[in-house]
Amino acid sequence: MDYRIEHDSMGEVKVPADKYWGAQTQRSLNNFKIGEEKMPKEIIKAFAVLKEASARANHNLGKLDAKRLSLISAVCKDILDGKLDDNFPLVVWQTGSGTQSNMNVNEVIAGKGNELAGETILHPNDHVNMSQSSNDTFPTAMHIAAVMAIEDSLLPSIDLLINTFDRLIKENEGIIKTGRTHLQDATPIKFSQEISGWKSSLEKDKEMISLSLKPLKSLALGGTAVGTGLNAPTGFDEEVAKEVSKLTNKQFITAENKFHALTSKDELVFAHGALKALAGDLMKIANDIRWLSSGPRCGLGEIYIPENEPGSSIMPGKVNPTQCEAVTMVAVQVMANDVAVGMAASQGNFELNVFMPVCIYNFLQSVRLLSDVMKSFNDNCVCGIKANKQTMDENLEKSLMLVTALNPYIGYENAAKTAKKAYAENISLRQACTELGFLTEEKFDEIFKPEEMV
């Protein structure tokens, strides 16, 4: 491999000749050979947004000339287009402020920009990092990446699943089945009502996630090293927030208190709590669907789901609810990530949180997994759900909890005696009730109407 010599304030470093990064990126590569988890691509793209926004703000405030602005903007566009992906090799397990990834971006923009200019005109610190510090750029990148991932990927995936459940509600409106509580038979329910519970859960989750977006749209940029804004021109914070908003087509504002913005990660904890709520509901929905589809002969078997692939390497003909299993595994991972996000956020010391890379790594993984699994679950399972009306009717007819309809006529205790006799003797509720002398057959038939119990 060919190398070139780069230098920083600590001296010279050998850097691969075909890469645009500089000495500080290389030092991080050499010193943090830990794990395989790379800084998320969403963070790199967010950095590209904030670096161009900063260059524009600096230019608007008379700090940066038009030529350098043009070069920085051109390279940031290349980063957003994925043309420089192999220039961001740093791992999550680095400095807790994310300084090395900030410098990685600065160095790549400067290196590529200088190549475009045909001269050394951009300095990673003096120009690309002008009016900034890693301490305000990394938390800004975290918020930009979080907002874009939620709005552009997660919310559309939730809507996709909500719309499918809405269709299933309409298709199954007239079907009545036995309800279940504590995994035991309960009073009847419409299948459409059961589905409506799933749909409403997702709607509530979307509402809570949407509420978490406003705090995330507050940016630390302009606080620089400790929140005082040292070396940033007056008005830079507001100007750069406007430029980020233009570049993303999303309404960002400058953080009201930069000391809070640099050290606290409460906005991400709040937002991830809403993600955990979504994960919990998805766990419940997926479990309901795989229970209802269990069988095909020895389970509940009340619904059919698509058969996508063979389920066993030894049992021929076996098909498993694999999409449901993927959803539940993602839910477990998101719940585990919530612990990491919360713990990381608790580690703010004085003027800076130094657990930021691990915090945003877990946050973005949760958003990515939830977005992907909901699309997969929708397309490969939920869209194909069909009611097994015959089994639903048979189970409803056998359910002893239909006896609840008799409470107003014979009382709770007599209704309980009726149910217990029917179960013990394996006879119908009608027969048990009339043999006990609680109702005549005519009166029983008059008041016992399962379709009116929903």
CATH 1.10.40.30 intervals, the chain:
399-452
Residue 413, pLDDT score: 97
Q: How confident is the model at residue 256 (pLDDT cuts 50, 70, 90)?
A: very high
HEC sequence for the chain = CCEEEEEECCEEEEEECCCCCCHHHHHHHHHCCCCCCECCHHHHHHHHHHHHHHHHHHHHCCCCCHHHHHHHHHHHHHHHCCCCHHHCCCECCCCCCCHHHHHHHHHHHHHHHHHHHCCCCCCHHHHHCCCCCHHHHHHHHHHHHHHHHHHHHHHHHHHHHHHHHHHHHHHCCCCEEEEEECCEEEEEEEHHHHHHHHHHHHHHHHHHHHHCHHHHCEECCCCCCCCCCCCCCCCHHHHHHHHHHHHHCCCCEECCCHHHHHHCCHHHHHHHHHHHHHHHHHHHHHHHHHHHCCCCCCCCCCEECCCCCCCCCCCCCCCCCHHHHHHHHHHHHHHHHHHHHHHHHCCEECCEECCHHHHHHHHHHHHHHHHHHHHHHHHHCHHHCEECHHHHHHHHHHCHHHHHHHHHHHCHHHHHHHHHHHHHHCCCHHHHHHHCCCCCHHHHHHHCCHHHCC
pLDDT band at 410; cut points 50, 70, 90: very high
Where exactly does CATH 1.10.275.10 map onto the chain?
Answer: 3-130
Q: Which residues belong to CATH 1.20.200.10 in the chain?
A: 145-171+179-219+260-385
Interval 223-246: pLDDT, tens: 999 999 999 999 999 999 999 999
For the domain bounded by 3-130, which CATH number is listed? 1.10.275.10
Average pLDDT, the chain: 97
> pTM for this one?
0.96
pLDDT digits (tens, 9 = 90+) for 349-384: 999 999 999 999 999 999 999 999 999 999 999 999
The CATH superfamily label for domain 399-452 reads Fumarase/aspartase (C-terminal domain) (1.10.40.30)
The CATH homologous superfamily for domain 145-171+179-219+260-385 is: Fumarase/aspartase (Central domain) (1.20.200.10)
Instruction: Say what the pLDDT of residue 69 is.
Output: 98
Catalytic residues: 182, 312
